[in-house]
Each structure stands twice: as C-alpha cells, then as structure tokens.
Structure 1
Amino acid sequence: MLSRTIFVLALASFATGTEAYVYAGHLEALAEELDQPVAAAGQLATAFAFTYAITAPLIAGLVAHLGRRPVIVAGLALLGGLNLLAAVSPTFWGLIVIRILCGLTAGLVGPISSIAAAELAPPERRGQAMAIVFGGMTLAFVLGIPVGSAIGDLAGWRGTFVYAGVIAIAAALAIRLVLPAMPGGTRTDRHALSIVRERPVHAHLLLTLVGFASTFTVIAYVGPVVTAITGLTGSGIGVMQMLIGLGSIVGIVVGGRSADRPGAQRVLVLSFLVSAFSLASYSALMSGPGLVASAIASAPVLVMLAVGMVLGASALFTRTPIVQARLLAVTRPEARPVVLALNGSMVFFGQGLGASIGGAAIGLGGIEAIGGAGAAVALVGALLALAASRASACDA
C-alpha cells in the first residue's frame, strides 16, 4: 500500500498548478487594468513556463543531494511570497518579472516532490506514486483555479494572486508537518544532462512537450475562449474550468493503470488523436452557429463545450503517468532527478510554447483560430507517439 504521505506531497503540485493559472479566468480584466492586449497578457504564462523549462533541470541537479523536505518547503514558501507580491504589482512588466522568479522557484518543488514520492513507494508502485503527486495539478483545475476565479469576482484579479500565495504557504506548512526527514540522493554531476541524448529519453520528453503545447494553445486563453463560446464570465468560467479538472482526474486514473501494462504506447497515440478532436471543437464552436454574441449559450453549446473540455483534459493527463513511468524505467538512479526535472521542464515549456502559438493564432486569425492551431500540434504529437511506439517495438 502506498504511504499516506505521498498524498500530502500532492499538495505541492496542487499549489504550483493553482498559482500557474489562477488568474486566467480574469485575464481580460488584468489586461485592461494594465493597458495590455489580451494576447500580450497571456504571455505571463509564457514567462513562468519558459523560465521553469530552462532552469528546472539545473536547479534540480543543484539541490538533488539536499534533504527533500527543506527543499520542497522552501520552494513553496518562496512561491507564496512571490504571489503575494504579484497582487500589489503596479505594472505589467513588474508582473512579468515576478512570474519569471516564480518559474525559477518552482524548480525546487515539482521534480523533488516527484522524487520524494518515488522514494517513499515500493519499486513496483513508483509510477502510481508519481501519478498521485502529479494528480495535485488535476485538483488545481478541479478546485484551486475555479475557486480562484470565484475569488476574482469578489476581489478582482489581484485577489487571485493573494489566494494563490496563501495556498502555497499552507502547502509548505502541511508538508513540513507531515513529510518525514528524507536524505538527499547522490550529488548530480555535470554530465547528468547527457542522458537526454538517449533515444528513449528524448523521444518521451518530446511527447510531453508537444502534448502540453497543443493543449495550452487554447487553455492559456481559456477565459476569453469560454466567453466567446458561451457568454460566461468570472465564476461562470470557473465552473467550466472545473470540467478540465474532472477530465484530468479521469486521465490520471486511466494513465496510471496503463503505465505498466502492454500497449501503453498505443494509448499515447490514441490520446493525441483525442486531443486533436477536442481542440478542433473549440474553433468549430466559435466559428459556427453556436457562437453567442450576448447572454448565455444554449444548452447544446454548453454540452458540446463541456464534452470537449473533459475529453481534452483526459487525453492530456492520460499521457503523463505513462511517460513518467517510461522515463524512470530507462534512466539510471542517479540521473532520475534531472530526467524528471527535464520532463517537468517539457510540461511548462510546452505550456509556454502553447501560449505563444495561441497568441500568434489570435494575431493572425482571431480568437476562433486557436483551436485549429492546437489540433494541428496534437496531430504532430500523434505522429511522434506512433514513431516512439515503433521504436520501442524494435528495441524489444
């Protein structure tokens, strides 16, 4: 049986997942107050994500030999403080700097939390343990971000950052109280990053990158997209965001059960095809007769949007446990912190890349173009997953 402490570690990814996009439901209000176009405001996600993507493997390598608990607690406490600072930032560029600092700090939390979970679990349950920790991010979509959107209705977009800061500090306290003292691992040497040259490693890292890039082409702009399709704003958007979280839970369960079974690579291919269908549906709903210019959308439109959101989130999070399990299986123990950090980098680099692609699509074709752009990226992912599947079959 898995230790209950592993479930407490999920608070780390819950806090980081919440703070990463807690303001998304009020992106238009943020952009208006700070005198920025929505596409530019969406680059707050890019600033955080790209910083994490570039620095997390280096940071994880630097702290891999330190005790797990103090590293995670310090990272969460710093994230909390930075979000409280964001709540009082007077300028957009000040927010950009803070989001960059948040990206640096998150490198202390995500990879080390996953490693701690793997070390607490028996070898045959490590994939499930890491899935539970990553599942904290799904809880962020079900609960953390929607509650933040509701708080934003009462306290404005600045209130969402206060909320995120409190969540991170509370997670730091809980982990400090519950997680036992855990020694660090072997000091990671400067050659650890060379592991990325191995085909099974870089092939699966690329799947993570493309998978999150495709989804976040739309999700980085979820507030304006939901408003364009349904007419909903504020807490109404938060309710729709909960569907992303519900789909994520389904995906984590399916992916966790598939990770160590034959046929997992085929599941990866199928998940990308489901993502493409889901993402294309956003553009179809915005461009077709379902487009609502005022009031609230009809029930059929809401149902179609809900189905698309659940399917897309399920597909995305089905991939995560499978990729993590494969990476652990093909990596030597001393390189695992760096490899998991690299996978986390691909998660956030993919999010930032998706936000950039979405911004470009909006600039070229308007908000209704981003679903089609995301679907095209997902189809590239399906081809890459198919190639990885065939390579694994040949290696076997």
Structure 2
Amino acid sequence: MTNADQHISTKSVERSRIPPFAFVLTTCIGVIGSNSLALGPIAPEVARSLDVGAPAVMTASAVFGLGTAASAIFLGRFIDRYGPSRMLVIALLLLAIGLGASAAAPALPFLVTAQLLVGIAAGIALPAIYTLAAIVAPAGRESETIGLVLTGWTLSMVAGVPLSAAIADFAGWRVTFLVVAAAALIVCAAVRMAVVRGDAPQAAASSPLTALGVRGAVPLLSACAAFMAAFYGVYAYIGDHLHAALELPLSANGFIAAFYGVGFGSAAFLDRLIDRLGAGKLLPLIFLVVAAVYVAMAAASGSYKAMLAVVFFWGLANHLGLNVLIMRLTALSPTRRGAIMGLNSGVTYLALFAGTLAFGNLYSAASFFALPVAAGGLMLAAALCAALAPR
C-alpha cells in the first residue's frame, strides 16, 4: 500500500468514527430519564413533605407525560424550522427552570405545574436528540450511533434513579431536583458549545399532522403505539406483582429495574449487526422476538429468579426494537425529521398514559399473568404494522 493509499484509508477510518457529540446526547437522555423515572421512588418523601398522599404526588408524573406528548406533537415541528441544536439548547434551559421550580414547590399544585413545564421541555428535547443522533451518525454506523444515544435511558435507570433516591434519603427530595437541574445546565452548555454540521434549519414549520402524510409514517407510528403501550402497561405493575403476589420486599423492584437496564445497555454491542443486515427487514422480526419475551414472562411470573432472567432479555430486545424503529422513522424524510420524531415522542407518551390505564384495569380484573399475554398480542400487531411499512 502506498502512502497515499494509507492516507486515504486513515481518513476513511476517521470519518467513520462515532463523534464525541453522541456521548453528549447520551447524557441528555440520561438527565431527562432521571426526572421521568425518579419521582416514583421518592414519592413517599415528597408526599410527607407536602402533606399529601403518594398517589396525589404521582399526578405530577402523569401531567409530565401529557405535557411531553402535547409538546412533542405540536412543538416538535419547530426543530425543522430552527434547527435541532438550537431547539435542544432552549429545551434544556426550560428543563432546568422546571426542575428548579419543582425543588422550590411549596405545595402540590406548584409541583404539578413545574412538572408540566419539565414535560413541555422534554417533548422538545427528545425529538431534537433523536434528530441530532441521525444527523451526526457516520455512514454505515447509524444503528451504533443511535444505540449509543439510547443507552442514556440505561444511564438514568441504573445510575440516575438509585442516585436520586439516595440523595432524597440523605439530603431531601428538593436537592434531588436541584442536582438534576444542575446536570441539565451542564449538558445545555455542552450542546451550546458543540459544532454540529448538518443541523441547519431544513423546512418551514407546518401543521404537525402534515408529517403523517410522509410515506410510511402512519404504520411505523402505529407500531410505536403498540410497542410502547405493551412496555409501559407491563412495567407499571410488575413491581406490585412482586410485592403482592410473590410477597417480596420493595427492594426487589430495584433489581428488576437494574436487570432491565443492564439488558437494555448490553444490546448496544449488537447494534452494529443492524447496520450490516438492514433495519427495514429486521424491525418485524425484532418485534416478534419481543412478543416471545412477553410469553416467556407470563410463564415465569411465579418465580422471581426466572423473572430477573426474562427482564434482562426484555431490556435487550426492547433496545433493539427502539433503535431500529427510530432508524426507520428518521430515514422517512430528512427535511421533516423533527416533526416525525415529535410525533414519535407524542405517540410514546400517549401510549404510556393509555397503556398504564388499560393494563391497570386488566390487572385489577385478572392477574399479572394476563398483562404480558396482552402485551404479546400488541407486539404481534406492531410486527404487522412494521411489515406493512414501506422500506
């Protein structure tokens, strides 16, 4: 090989490296996830401080989810108008303000309002992050890049949530929100200083419903709705099943979350296979694998050890499904990525609300065994929708 060949080869390798900015996006996901997942574990302490019941405190979490959904659907289109980096900076600033207001909340209505602001910020930030992940991904390493960014959810679940609970124990729940707010400001500064090529405004802001006209958007978003409703519907009640049916302490829920998070993060090592095999044909197959995991969960629901093993593979399969789904959606229309990813985040959080409610009724009427069975049925529907979507 000549020196010129070596120079070209070296430049090619450098171009194929995942940029450091992807790690900034991973941390952004971790910060958002730390807020959205942490309120549950610290709810008893918040309830005691504000002199209300724990279920009342969780209305703040519900309002956060609805705020995220509405914001993602109706404001996500401005990502295309003003550029994802600029909108992410604005969203992270709003997130920090909302978290600071949450820390200062003197009463529950104030906390609920503050979490609504946090939800609005998250609804802008999440589609902006996924859009930027698609922009900065090197050719041929799209799946690996998006998979790396998605491990931010693992970061929040395995590290952020336990750390938030520990801070609440030793310093109070208000300090927990202040710490997450400070983290939001730090990543905001990192995004502001970064130079990202290709994140310039792409299109004028239009009605969010126009993105539904993009070929392939409706079946993929339908698959997203089924996928997320299945996950949140089962995840919301698995802890109560362990405590009420298997008579395990509440600490057992922490291991369930940890095993899921480790499985979710471990799938990052498989992401490069997606780039080699192609996302188009893999998505229906991955959803079928997730359906099989739910069937296994139903069979294992009477054993805690078996549940831990199944939950690990649940996290692994869900990571692959979410990764490929985002790849498919961001590839539909480069000029409308923000609007499409806004719809994706909106559908996700509406599915959280609907799935938790519907599965709660099923859980009350039957038992936990029925939940993964129903989730498996939803995943079959998701696989069908994915198969119908044009590649």
Verify same fold: TM over 0.5. yes
Following superposition, the deviation at residue 385 of structure 1 comes to 0.8
2:249 corresponds to:
232
Report the residue type matching 1:264 in the other structure.
L
**Counterpart Cα distance in 1 of 2:35 and 2:327:** 26
Deviation, 1:376, is 0.7
Match of 1:205 in 2: 221
Higher Cα radius of gyration: 2
- CA distance, structure 1, for counterparts of residue 230 and residue 77 of structure 2: 28
The structural deviation recorded for 1:319 is 0.6
| 2:173 pairs with 1:170 | no
Supply the distance in 1 between the matched residues of 2:64 and 2:253 (Cα, whole angstroms): 22
Alignment match, 1:298: none
Residue 291 of structure 2 corresponds to which residue in structure 1?
Answer: 273
Counterpart position of 2:60: 44
1:384 aligned to 379, 382, 385, which one? 382
Indicate if the aligned counterparts of 2:102 and 2:177 stay in contact, CA closer than 8 A: yes
Per-residue deviation, 1:12: 1.2
What is the aligned residue count? 371
Cα distance in 2 for residues equivalent to 1:241 and 1:359: 19
Deviations 1:180-216 (A, max 9, x none): 5865222334256323245622111122222222221
Q: Is the 8 A contact 2:71 2:121 kept in 1?
A: no
The answer to whether structure 1 residue 337 and structure 2 residue 338 are counterparts is yes
Is contact 1:260-1:325 (8 Å) kept? no
Deviation digits for residues 305-347 of structure 1 (CA, Å, limit 9, x no counterpart): 3223212222222211111122233x22211211122122222
1:309 corresponding residue in structure 2: 311
Does structure 1 retain, via aligned residues, the 8 Å contact 2:288–2:380?
yes
Residues 256 and 56 (structure 1), Cα distance of their counterparts in 2 relative to 1, 3 Å cut:
farther
Q: Deviations over 1:276-325 (max 9, x none)?
A: 2365368x34xxxx6xxxxxxxxxx3x23322321222222221111112
Deviation at residue 13 of structure 1 after TM alignment: 1.0
Taking a change above 3 Å as real, the CA distance of residues 184 and 198 of structure 1, as seen in their structure-2 partners, is: closer
* Code of the aligned partner of 1:232: P
Q: Structure 1 pair 359/158, CA: closer, same or farther in 2 (3 Å)?
A: farther
Matched, 1:53 2:69: yes
- The 1-side partners of 2:169 and 2:238 are apart by 16
Letter in 1 for 2:88: I
Question: 1:124 corresponds to which letter in structure 2?
Answer: G
Deviations 1:29-48 (A, max 9, x none): 5456653364x544433322
1:23–1:157: 8 Å Cα contact kept in structure 2?
A: no
Give 1:64 deviation, angstroms: 2.5
Deviation at 1:16, TM superposition (A): 0.9
Task: Kindly indicate whether residue 132 of structure 2 is the aligned counterpart of residue 116 of structure 1.
Answer: yes
Aligned match for 2:204, one of 185, 188, 195: 188
Shift in CA distance, 77/342, structure 1 to aligned 2, threshold 3 Å: same
Q: What percent identity do the matched residue pairs reach? A: 20
What amino acid does structure 1 have at the position aligned with 2:313? L
Q: Could you list the per-position Cα deviations for residues 13-63 of structure 1 after superposition, in whole angstroms to 9, with x for gaps in the alignment?
A: 11111111112223445456653364x544433322222222213212124
Inter-partner Cα distance in structure 1 for 2:215 and 2:196: 36
Change (3 A) 1:5 1:388: closer
TM-score, normalising length: structure 2: 0.82
Q: Is the 8 A contact 1:69 1:181 kept in 2?
A: no
* 1, 17, 35: which one aligns with 2:52: 35
8 Å CA contact 1:255–1:319 kept in 2: the answer is: no
Q: 2:294 is matched by which residue type in structure 1? A: A
Q: Give the Cα separation in 1 of the matches to 2:176 and 2:130.
A: 26
Name the CA distance, whole Å, in 1 between partners of 2:318 and 2:221: 14
CA distance in 1, matches of 2:46, 2:358: 21
Give the alignment of 1:61-72 within 5 angstroms. Answer: 61-72=77-88
Distance 1:276 1:12 in 2: 30
RMSD over aligned Cα, in angstroms? 3.1
Distance 1:269 1:71, change over 3 A: closer
Q: 1:311 to 1:183 in 2, by over 3 A?
A: closer
Question: Unpaired segments of 5 or more residues in structure 2?
Answer: 1-16
8 Å CA contact 1:271–1:316 kept in 2: the answer is no
Cα distance in structure 2, aligned partners of 1:275 and 1:163:
36
